[in-house]
Amino acid sequence: MEADEPVFPIASAAELAGMHPQTLRQYDRLGLVVPTRTAGRSRRYSLREVAQLREVQRLSGEGVSLEGIRRVLELENEVVALRERVRRLETALANELLNRPGSRVFASSAQGDVVPLRHGVRAQRRTEVVVWRPRQQADEE
């Protein structure tokens, strides 16, 4: 079952959240936790909304005003939506990169920096000869 799937009628959601159904109706009217409505206009709550109801109860117990709770829930919902959007964008980017193999080529500069190259262009090779000798041998000569 998906966390956002509206499956619980108001009585079940109230029991799961440890609240009275009338409290859930009041929170719906205030816009704190707004459930999905069926074609017959009855409320259906998801697991995420039941968790939000528990959060409302916890914050209310700590003395946070209903307006403060509304703002907290609004920000939490925005974070969830943004995380989902980032996940979708990352997936789209990964798919795009997999579908275009070899379209980006990189090389390393002498300093170790990564340098992008156009497709079909080769990196310039260094042709200097460097002779390395152990220090001990170099000092004896």
pLDDT of amino acid 109: 72
For 26, other C-beta atoms within 10 Å of its C-beta total 13
Mention every residue, 6+ apart, whose C-beta is less than 8 A from residue 56: 27, 32, 33, 69, 73
In a domain, 51, yes or no: yes
Under the banding of pLDDT at 50, 70 and 90, the label for residue 104 is low
Region 18-32 average pLDDT: 93
Note the pLDDT of residue 120: 66
On whether residue 117 sits in a domain, the answer given is: no
Give domain status of residue 108, yes or no.
no
Number of domains in the chain: 1
Query: Taking 60 as the threshold, does the pLDDT of residue 72 lie above it?
Result: yes
Q: What mean pLDDT, rounded, does the chain reach?
A: 85
27 CB burial (10 A radius; 0-12, 13-18, 19+): buried
In this model, does residue 138 exceed pLDDT 60? no
pLDDT at residue number 140: 60
Q: Is residue 48 part of a domain?
A: yes
d(CA 90, CA 111) in angstroms, rounded, equals 31
Q: How confident is the model at residue 131 (pLDDT cuts 50, 70, 90)?
A: confident
User: For the ranges 50-64, 69-83, 114-128, which has the lowest average pLDDT?
Assistant: 114-128
Would residue 50 count as lying in a domain? yes
Which helix or strand (DSSP H or E) is residue 20 part of?
A: none
CATH number at residue 64: 1.10.1660.10
Residue 122 falls within a domain, yes or no?
A: no
Domain that holds residue 27: 8-99
